[in-house]
Structure 1
């Protein structure tokens, strides 16, 4: 067991509490009881307790605004600061100090490495720097005797400070400044707030601008002509102070009035400062300068009729003037049928303060083109030729460019492509080198001739193709046909197309178009008669009873005239005398040439001379099959 040899009172079991022990050596013996006759074993442990004295420091340490632990001071080595008298951990040097709080310092012995067990108390006192505020400009009038200088601060200042009259005006009482009678200018004052050490005093200087009442001058009037140029209105209001503004604003941006761009009316000059607002008015009247426009020339065509000369003077010309010499209209209307060509002067009288009168001249030239020479007043045309206004040109002899109209008043112009109408009157003018259209027109009456559409004697007339019918056969069926005058012509189209000769052979179901020819005018029908002949009216079909395919070019094939046209769906079968089919054909099959076209026949070349038999199928829904025989010879 352990024994406290020096009765330090610090031993408890095998633990020694060092806190509270004074400096010195302390012995503790451990006694081990022996067994049997053996002696006890004793072991003594000596503990040497060292301590470091507490550092010295001012009990109260003062700071301004902000401070940290590193700002605390104490005399000693390896100083550490705590926020408790015992225990705890050392404070960082960046830890902010709190006003009125206690802080505790220790020092550490460099030899023993022991930190002082007793800590030195220091109380932190932190003062706040005084605030004198931020300056705000004061502008006031020299008629004010109660200017509170505190209105020159932004309100962040501390109370209790004092005001100082920097410029020594002698007009300061406390914070009240009496500006009565002072000259215009800037005056400076300082607000001082005293600080507690270690903080320093705070002061703010403000500027008070004192202004004197302004002079806006006196009212006036201005009466100008619009062409008088510019006027500086400032010169009209007397000895006014500069720096004011004009209302309404003028185009110059200043007080210069330009009658050409600025409106007449009241213009106000205004000055404003701390002493108030003053103004004066200039009433401006503007009289429009006379403007007769600009000199010009006018070329007037007789056909155009009356012309108003006033618009020719330009858009700036003023109305209400007089013309000299006077025109027949009594106004500015020039009538080429009543007024003579020449110089006409337009004058606008000036109104005070404007002068002199304004005038402009128009030199008028009157032109015309000669009337067109008429060659044929009543030209004739065929309707079938689709005559147009352009075809009237052969009826006149112009010397210029021709214009056509539908009426005598020449109010409805016509295109040269306009179709002519029988019995209608057409009116023409011309424009020559003078540039004027002729004032006198000519009248042309168009006569449009036409022949009636031909008619058929027998609309149901049929033909047989084997008779080789021609166009002339169609003409013979026309009611109006006259073989002596050949008054019927045929075409291959309803309109235009090519003319077909009378001797041309007809083609089955082809449409032909007939027109009558008027013997007196030579005009054809503008509407043609369409005829589509049926050439299949040929009666009973005749089938030849033989042919000779010997290569002499005559009857080399078994041929039936126009068979494909008469019976387009026919079929024919030819058999030998043994009843074997040797040929079978239709419209698209090569004709029978004495050679078989059936694979079952024993003959591969020319069939032998002899009698053969046929079966002809019309396949027209009307005729029954026809049977017969034919003889093949060579």
Structure 2
């Protein structure tokens, strides 16, 4: 709203719409009802509207006012209405009640006031930082003029949307225009004010992800922590600060820290690193985010001990009190206050957390006796112990930290029953107690007496009772005589609680006599190691079902072994298990015990033994995997080791040994060795690999050369796929190895074999190459035609020959004429040299050409090259 518009409204509305309308006359004491419209709210007169003056001259002063609609603008004591205090435009009523002592029957009057809308005066421009989050548009008013009323409507002129007074500027940036409009009411028109808001983007230092680490679990994954990885939604361009002075940030812009080093040098604790992003405008402050790193050390309660004090008898339940003492293990536990979590088993059990102090490795806390109101075993289990200041980054090591508290019943052997064991003379008697249903599980000492075949008094033994059952032993010394002994238990005492009670439980022991071993004899034959060892025993007398015990000493040793025998005519045999005889050499079998299985009575045996020899089995041969070349046609005779004592097989079953001429293959072979005593060793396995090197391959036209180049074996090698490893022979088998400098001969055949340095093998197949030395390009190879010769037989220049022409022009012909044009000689590659004889006229070797000048014609017979002619001089 412009300044002129505000002035116009204030003048026009105040003088035109400030009017009073009389209403129905209710009474003379309170005056008459009235109405009022106030449109110019900012006008100073709007603050002091006297409602009493609107009631007419008949109103009796001294009455009371009520603000019927709680507008908040009326002074109830003075009747003065301040329209500027009313926060919403609307129609309000105010009731005046005259004094009650005026004798009027109807002493109230109502003033109805219409409050027009006022949209306020905005500041010229408002700057807001986006970091405030929500901004109340009413803050855009200047705060000097009258505040706007609250029941108008805001409109975002920039986005053309109606909005609430509180807007979220978090993601806004730039200049925005908002218009606040108060609606028309009654005769008061609508009013609008426009606010110009500039939203500046705040710097974003990000949202921290604090790091809680258990240093005891290892910090190797945090030796190069990028602090930027612990914040999100941040702006670039900020700097990190080491709030804890760890020394990890060493230069401006550094943002990597070594947490492992922090812990190693400074220990556990809280460490802070702040990221500060500067603001690029004066409206928003710098933004700072702090990343907190908490390092804790795991507490180790391994081998710690918990003790609940203390076990009681059932008659002490009502008066007992308890405590738990925890003593630390080898690991140090700092003094301080800790939370202790524990559970208690039993019908009244539960879980609890208490606070207690560790002092010099010991923590003690009381535990309620309500947990232990019955007879039984109650387990108190410590589930966790943590410092009250811990953030629980570590799971402390507790392991099995518990103790049982036992409430013992008084021992009671009523209705208990003892069985009647049948034993042998001089043997312990194991007695089973049952039906002791009144006896709680536990350990007890009993007192008993023996009478009958044997006698003893006040014997004490310890029993463990489980489910009304227990077992105890009457020692052999009390069973020296055969017959029937009577046992009677007279007292029982709980070992742990020392609770004791009398008893009267009777039982019997049947005692059988021991067998006789004096006639026993043992015989064992010597055998080869690995063969069955049979022991022959005689002298059993009339025993027909026995068990003997024996030991082995010497090269082989054993504990006590047993075997059941059925003697016939006093004799029996058995085979000594091979597992007891792992070594060769001399061993002795000693019979140590004889048992009569009919009575289960046994006796120790002395002096019954025999020695025997187990011939040694040779060790498996020491062998290695072997590799052969296919070209060598190797046989079993080539395998190592080799000799008459060795046998080779190609099957692990060792069915049939291989003959020496057996051609080796790529497969597994097995070898044994036989000792002088005829003992065969276990087999050793090797893997034989037959290596076949591929024959070399010749490149296309690789056998064609030009004889003018004097090609050698090396040139032939270079025309193969393996020039460095191929070797050449002059025959496919039994040939001579040719050196790399050997000159190639036209139409000769050469045989190439590839050689593998890795396998040290030649190829089984060969490459046969028949060489051609005619592959010459004439322009590339010029030749020389001599102009004379001297056929005098001195071995120097004795013939006329055009050297190497046969390589360039293999089909050439040469004609020589004398000066009269008569033919003297005709030659070609098969007859290349003229020796100065007249072959044309006199036949072969006929006619000697005289000294002088001769003429030649050379026909190339290739590439349409025309013949050439020249002259030469013959001088003998």
**Per the shorter chain, which TM-score range?**
0.3 to 0.5
TM-score where L is the length of structure 1: 0.37
Q: Which has the higher contact order (CA 8 A, sep 6+)?
A: 1
Richer in helix (by share)? 2
TM-score where L is the length of structure 2: 0.27
Bigger CA radius of gyration: 1
Richer in strand (by share)? 2
